[in-house]
Structure 1
């Protein structure tokens, strides 16, 4: 059995030390994996094991998550997270990549795409919302809630519930993910960081029209994979992408928010097939031959 080696390290972006995981061959277009709330790059460990033998996968921890280190007084907004990830991409000299966006990684990734459309070779969306109809009533209530009402979202029962909620078989969801997430949430300053981002989430909703316009203009090749029983971002949010990306490949699976936890055996081949088609199209364009 040929399993890839996964390297771990830090990249300095100003006064922020961004921790990241990387695997796969150096050639080819890399995949930038942006994690969600309340997780970090460790949520992609199994995907990196599954696909890292043939594809370069890079997963950073955003500020306020995982092992990334920030200075005192860091301002936690989605704009600021995008600034840091932009610097991270520049530091690693990733001139063109496939963006894998999940949950909070969606608004960070779409900010990068608007700033640097030339960077985006393709788009993989997994329960990362960019449409009004993709917001459940629970999500809307969370976005509109005052700070004092959001504290329970950062406790272990809710963290675990985000993993198991909506799953067809909770026994397929390992406890490691929510346990590690809660460990990081309980570190000094982390709950305050995530609370600030939750309060700033409404800034993302205000930018949905901008991101939709970007999708219509640039039409990146896209794979959309969605857990249909996500309590925050329900299934209509997946189908909404087809208005602006009518050629996108869409797969809706019987699982919840953290779809990779339960449905990796189905999702990993979909991602591998999408990346293989992108590579074939690039070779055809470079050779000057028409695409099939």
Structure 2
């Protein structure tokens, strides 16, 4: 079924989202990572829209959503999760599965752990809820957490969303980089080049430490509620390596586990394979 494109004012901010599929079918909410947008789900939405209802929002300051001035808006994971949950409430979506990727993981785990009865299933792709998953890539970020005025750390962080840094995120550890469309990082650059966006990305890097504090709470949610979960993960990701995927096995018993020999944006190189696994999983677990 065709994708439609919408905006809706949520907590005073114009939020862009993609929607596809029959609203009477099980809903899957797709939560994108840094530094991209709902564009990363364009192919997966097409693959799943005959069987499911899909919603993929852009966070404030990302993609096609509004970018409020940094002085007037809290660019934090807590606030992003509140925006997404309010959007779902206003769209009258009461039960849903969550696709959690990169930044989408801490945003979605906040929603899931606070609203466990609304969650059908979890789909985890290169996102973290265990400190084992925070390896070398995170060293300069941890320095920045300890000293927000550290210019060396700040310059390293800015480099991640420079044009070369973006291309690296999409192509690093990918078996055949020729299958990765350059449109990906060119589209990301559209919002990253907006005035103040660099400062917004730094604010989000700094705030990521609030997620680590919540890891024990999310792990307790896994143990207590045992949500049906599928891991579909690029195991060679330098940002969230495969060891972070393995960590979910500690607490999640209803877990299906799939690693792919690729990097961070695994959908770009193994989208059809991942889509088939996700479709099969959701058809079995959502019961419709």
Same fold (TM over 0.5): yes
Partner Cα separation in structure 1 for residue 45 and residue 251 of structure 2: 29
Q: Distance in 1 between matches of 2:140 and 2:216?
A: 21
Give the Cα–Cα distance (whole angstroms) in 2 for the partners of residues 122 and 234 of structure 1. Answer: 23
Partner of 1:157: 164
Distance 1:253 1:103 in 2: 16
Could you tell me whether the CA contact under 8 Å between 2:135 and 2:241 is conserved in 1? yes
What does 1:77-88 align with in structure 2 at a 5 Å threshold? 77-88=76-87
Do the aligned partners of 2:20 and 2:53 also contact (CA within 8 Å) in 1? yes
Moved more, 174-183 or 141-150: 141-150
Preserved contact between residue 11 and residue 91 of structure 1 (Cα < 8 Å): no
Q: 1 CA distance for matches of 2:44 and 2:136?
A: 31
Cα deviation 1:229-280 (Å, max 9, x = unaligned): 1001111111111111122000000000000010002100001001110133
Distance 1:21 1:190 in 2: 22
Distance 1:215 1:105 in 2: 17
User: Residue 287 of structure 1 aligns with which residue?
Assistant: none
SS in 2 for 1:217: helix
Cα RMSD after superposing both structures: 1.3
Cα deviation, 1:24-52, whole Å, max 9, x if unaligned, reads 11112200000000000111001111111
SS at match of 1:26: coil
Match for residue 187 of structure 1?
A: 194
Name the CA distance, whole Å, in 1 between partners of 2:67 and 2:116: 27
Partner SS state of residue 207, structure 1: helix
Structure 2 partner of 1:171: 178
Give yes or no for contact 1:143–1:201 (8 Å, CA) kept in 2.
no
CA distance in 2, matches of 1:266, 1:18: 30
Q: Distance in 1 between matches of 2:43 and 2:137?
A: 29
> Residues 62-102 of structure 1, C-alpha deviation per residue, up to 9 Å, x if partnerless?
11101111443111011111111111111111101000000
Cα distance in structure 2, aligned partners of 1:201 and 1:276? 33
CA distance in 1, matches of 2:142, 2:102: 14
Gaps of 5+ in 2: none
The whole-number CA distance in structure 2 between the counterparts of 1:71 and 1:152 is 23
Structure 2 contact 236–263 (Cα < 8 Å) conserved: yes
Contact 2:171/2:177 (8 A) holds in 1: yes
Superposed structure 1 runs of 4+ greater than 3 Å apart: none
Aligned residue number for residue 235 of structure 2: 228
> How far apart in 1 are the matches of 2:30 and 2:185?
19
| Paired residues of 1:38 and 1:181 also in contact (CA < 8 A) | yes
- Specify the alignment match of 1:218 in structure 2: 225
- Scaled by the length of structure 1, what TM-score is found? 0.92
Contact 1:63 1:70 in 2 (8 A): yes
Instruction: Report whether the alignment pairs 1:268 with 2:268.
Output: no
The corresponding residue for 1:56 is 53
Structure 2: distance between partners of 1:86 and 1:26: 17
Aligned partner of 1:105 in structure 2 is 104
Aligned residues: 278
**Secondary structure in 2 matching 1:50:** helix
Alpha-carbon distance in 1 for matches of 2:99, 2:269: 18
